[in-house]
Amino acid sequence: MSFEELNKKQQDDDKLKSGEIKSEATDDFGSTINKKNSDQDSYQNINKNINKKNSEITDQDQDQDTIYHQQLIKYKLIKSEILEWVFIVIISLIIVFVLRTFIIATSMVSGDSMLPSLHNNDYLFVRKIAYVPRRGDILIFRKNGDVKTLVKRVIGVAGDTIDIDRKSNKVVLNNKIMDENYINGVTYSYENSNVSSSRYPNLSPLKFPVTVPDGKVFVLGDNRVDSVDSRLIGFIDIKTEVKGKVSFRLWPFHGIGVVK
């Protein structure tokens, strides 16, 4: 082999080796780029997952905030409703107290002294405010602070003269015999009888005729033969003993209505 051929072969070998090196370098560079691309994709995927989780957390926080606000609104509504009912109850109690103390009252009849107008256990509505007794009114009172409430009819007011006719056993008001179509039995004076009462042991029957003093009323039960009234316990003080006028019967059902 000539020197020229040997030299050419050497050059060819050098070129071949140079190509292999370049090829290897190219492959290494491509591999590096691919690895970087892969790492970048992984990083992007991680960022996506992180963003997704952050979004889920944000959604959960928003849901919790929404639930909290809904519960808060519900609590405020319940609280407002409770306060409203408490206010209504308090106002109702105040109204009832004022009505029962100063304006109206209720009372139950105990006994038969007001037959036939009122019966035992009748439940009555009583007017208290601005009441001035008049003849014919049915009123309730407590004699000398007694705990028992009595129900009687007003026969005489201040200045009236009351007597009982001994022949007819009828009430005489201001020298005129009264026509009492609402009573049961006849009217006795009891002034000469020994009448006693376990509730009023110190009875002192009035001596007729009598004149009703100022600030007093003379009362009788409609059931004249079975009634503890002014004939036995005297006059009734309007300011300290009278509690009100019976104006309406609430019970029994068949007897509901205005009391006369």
Does the structure show a pLDDT above 90 at 94?
A: no
Q: Is 236 a domain residue?
A: yes
Q: Is the distance from CB of 107 to CB of 247 less than 8 angstroms?
A: no
CA distance 166 to 171: 9
Poorest-pLDDT segment among 97-101, 102-106, 182-186, 219-223 = 97-101
- Point out the residues that are catalytic: 113, 152
Q: pTM of the prediction?
A: 0.62
Q: Residue 151 is part of which domain span?
A: 109-258
In a domain, 243, yes or no: yes
pLDDT above 80: residue 230: yes
Residue 150 near residue 246 (C-beta atoms within 8 A): no
Give the H or E element holding residue 244.
strand 242-251
Residue 83 lies in a domain: no
183 in Cβ contact with 117 (< 8 Å): no
pLDDT of residue 23: 47
Confidence of residue 44 (pLDDT cuts 50, 70, 90): low
DSSP 81-104: HHHHHHHHHHHHHHHHHHIIIIIE
Which is more confident, 126 or 41? 126
Per-residue model confidence (pLDDT) at position 91: 82
Please state, in angstroms and rounded to a whole number, the distance separating the CA atoms of residues 186 and 157: 21
Would the pLDDT of 3 be above 70?
A: no
Higher pLDDT, 251 or 6: 251
Token reading at 89: 């109850």
Query: Do the domain assignments include residue 31?
Result: no
- Whether residue 167 is contained in a domain is answered as yes
Residue 103 included in any domain: no
CATH of the domain at 133: 2.10.109.10
Residue 134 pLDDT > 90: yes
What distance in Å separates the CA atoms of residue 36 and residue 65, rounded to the nearest whole number?
42
More reliable by pLDDT, 76 or 139:
139
Whole-number Cα distances in Å, 145 to 131, 136, 219, 236: 19, 24, 17, 11
pLDDT of residue 88: 86
Neighbouring C-alpha atoms within 13 Å toward the C-beta of 123: 7
Residue for token pair 């376990």: 198
Summarize the confidence of residues 124-143 as an average pLDDT. Answer: 88
Predicted local distance difference test score (pLDDT) of residue 5: 61
Question: Is residue 196 one of the residues assigned to a domain?
Answer: yes
Residue 71 has pLDDT above 50, yes or no: yes
Q: Is the pLDDT of residue 86 over 80?
A: yes
Residues 37 and 45: their CA atoms lie apart, in Å, by: 12
pLDDT-derived band at 194 (thresholds 50, 70, 90) equals low
pLDDT band at 76 (very low <50, low <70, confident <90, very high): confident
pLDDT at 118 > cutoff 80: yes
At residue 102 the predicted structure's pLDDT band, cuts being 50, 70 and 90, is low
Number of domains in the chain: 1
Q: Which two tokens stand for residue 107?
A: 């009372």
User: Do the domain assignments include residue 97?
Assistant: no
pLDDT for position 24: 47
pLDDT of residue 21: 44
